[in-house]
Chains A and B, each alone.
Chain A
């Protein structure tokens, strides 16, 4: 076959870099064929690849070897033909074809295709983004050797693979700035790619910073959700924030209620820290934070109870005040004993204190 002969002829030199060039050349070949198809007036369907093959091999080879091929490809004249054959061909993006063709013309235009392989070899390697393209491109020659009517479909797939590969490259290029620069170099020549590259490059530092900030805020929101009871079920930041605000307000109100309670309570007992600690410990063991949920619901109930207790406590205060004064003096002597005793029998002692008073 003419194509295989062409590939064989080119594939005789089998170094890695030259293989890349071969692959590029073969892709060029295909674009040339497509160009011929489009320019040919009689071509109707994608199945007219057979018509392509009927093209004398000479013409195909000429298209490769002639430097005029670059002009042919780069010429914008196929554009109207592209539109005509848009529906008939199965290529979803014909504009993508034009770019790719023009892109490969870069390789072609820089030097002779066959002779100067060394000059071409640094080019594919320098373009890192194209490296990934060459892998799907290599699959093309493998498939050309298979049945020819199927050539149309694999090329469609390959082109779509190429497109995806390029998109992946663009995605990864966002992370590496050097690759982004290279894509911007390509972008100078191709308007379609230019838009994508610019988007990825311009928002690089900004998007990273914003993303970091957003992640920080989300992490802190998660911490807050864990702190506030009943918040983990809620989804949506606005509702979570509302819950947090309610929780903070309720806590502040609780502090006010408790301080009012403490103001009303007559401190007829010593403010012995040890005894209070020991009394605390007993209630602490009952479950610290489960108790916090209940007070959230019941503070209003407690408040009502407190308000009712006030007049009663006032009466009781009047009786106990003279006793209170004496106890203050006594407490100074008792405190060291209390601290010792609390070590031995903690809860018992606190109960005894309560009983005495």
Chain B
């Protein structure tokens, strides 16, 4: 008979890592929240925080193994504190990467769609088509796990 919980079979899988981190962050957010949660503004703020927590926990689960996770982590880190130093450094790096990565040959058959994909996938601007497809595949996989876990949590908590 199979075990009930596939996440127990593989505790280091992406799904279990994400679940633990996300739940921890969720509990932190709900612990922080004040008693009155009636105003939609409050809910909106919480929604924002939860969204950030979800992205952050996903990015942390992947660590720096993927370009998109690195880009997302950097984005999350520099979002609240707008330090000029960090931004200029990273902007310089980004500029260098964009000039070298995108050659004329890469754009042959995939002009418009590749640009859209670059916007969607974090950190996609500085990648050539080949790596972009690779990152997209992993990004889709992670997004599906994220959606599954969040859906289950939401279903669990809603009546």
For residue A247, which residues in chain B have a CB less than 8 angstroms away from its CB?
A: 140
Given the contacts A217-B133, A248-B139, A256 and B51 also touching, CB distance less than 8 Å: yes
Give the complex CA separation of A258 and B30 in angstroms: 16
Please determine whether A217 and B130 come into contact, CB atoms closer than 8 angstroms: yes
Q: Tally chain A residues at the interface, Cβ within 8 Å.
A: 58
Please determine whether A259 and B5 come into contact, CB atoms closer than 8 angstroms: no
Nearest-CB residue, chain B, relative to A273: B23
Q: Is A168 among interface residues, defined by CB-CB distance under 8 A?
A: no
For residue A314, which residues in chain B have a CB less than 8 angstroms away from its CB?
A: 37-38
Please determine whether B19 and A273 come into contact, CB atoms closer than 8 angstroms: yes
Please determine whether A217 and B129 come into contact, CB atoms closer than 8 angstroms: yes
Q: Tally chain B residues at the interface, Cβ within 8 Å.
A: 60
Please determine whether B143 and A260 come into contact, CB atoms closer than 8 angstroms: no
Please determine whether A220 and B156 come into contact, CB atoms closer than 8 angstroms: no
Q: Is B85 among interface residues, defined by CB-CB distance under 8 A?
A: no
Please determine whether A245 and B120 come into contact, CB atoms closer than 8 angstroms: yes
21 contacts between A and B (CB under 8 A): A216-B130, A217-B133, A220-B130, A220-B133, A224-B137, A237-B109, A238-B109, A241-B110, A248-B143, A252-B143, A255-B150, A262-B157, A269-B157, A276-B23, A278-B4, A278-B5, A280-B7, A281-B4, A285-B4, A288-B148, A292-B147
Please determine whether A282 and B110 come into contact, CB atoms closer than 8 angstroms: no
Given the contacts A216-B130, A292-B148, A245 and B54 also touching, CB distance less than 8 Å: no
Please determine whether A255 and B158 come into contact, CB atoms closer than 8 angstroms: no
Give the complex CA separation of A315 and B30 in angstroms: 18
Given the contacts A213-B130, A223-B137, A262-B50, A346 and B4 also touching, CB distance less than 8 Å: yes
Q: Is B114 among interface residues, defined by CB-CB distance under 8 A?
A: yes
Name the distance in Å between A294's Cβ and chain B's nearest Cβ.
11
Give the complex CA separation of A282 and B152 in angstroms: 10
For residue A241, which residues in chain B have a CB less than 8 angstroms away from its CB?
A: 110, 113-114, 117
Q: Is A221 among interface residues, defined by CB-CB distance under 8 A?
A: yes
For residue B117, which residues in chain A have a CB less than 8 angstroms away from its CB?
A: 241, 244-245, 248
Q: Is B92 among interface residues, defined by CB-CB distance under 8 A?
A: no
Given the contacts A259-B54, A267-B157, A220 and B137 also touching, CB distance less than 8 Å: yes
Please determine whether A271 and B26 come into contact, CB atoms closer than 8 angstroms: yes
Q: Is B154 among interface residues, defined by CB-CB distance under 8 A?
A: yes
For residue B134, which residues in chain A have a CB less than 8 angstroms away from its CB?
A: 220
Given the contacts A245-B116, A251-B140, A314-B38, A263 and B50 also touching, CB distance less than 8 Å: yes
Q: Is B94 among interface residues, defined by CB-CB distance under 8 A?
A: no
Give the complex CA separation of A313 and B7 in angstroms: 31
Name the distance in Å between B130's Cβ and chain A's nearest Cβ.
6
Please determine whether B54 and A310 come into contact, CB atoms closer than 8 angstroms: no
Name the distance in Å between B5's Cβ and chain A's nearest Cβ.
4
Q: Is B141 among interface residues, defined by CB-CB distance under 8 A?
A: yes
Given the contacts A262-B150, A283-B155, A292-B148, A310 and B51 also touching, CB distance less than 8 Å: no
For residue B44, which residues in chain A have a CB less than 8 angstroms away from its CB?
A: 263
For residue B20, which residues in chain A have a CB less than 8 angstroms away from its CB?
A: 273
Nearest-CB residue, chain B, relative to A227: B140
Please determine whether B152 and A317 come into contact, CB atoms closer than 8 angstroms: no
Name the distance in Å between A227's Cβ and chain B's nearest Cβ.
5
Please determine whether A248 and B51 come into contact, CB atoms closer than 8 angstroms: no
Give the complex CA separation of A245 and B118 in angstroms: 10
Q: Is B101 among interface residues, defined by CB-CB distance under 8 A?
A: no
Nearest-CB residue, chain A, relative to B113: A241
Please determine whether A280 and B152 come into contact, CB atoms closer than 8 angstroms: yes
Nearest-CB residue, chain B, relative to A256: B51
For residue B148, which residues in chain A have a CB less than 8 angstroms away from its CB?
A: 288, 292
Please determine whether B157 and A265 come into contact, CB atoms closer than 8 angstroms: yes
Please determine whether A248 and B4 come into contact, CB atoms closer than 8 angstroms: no
Name the distance in Å between B157's Cβ and chain A's nearest Cβ.
5
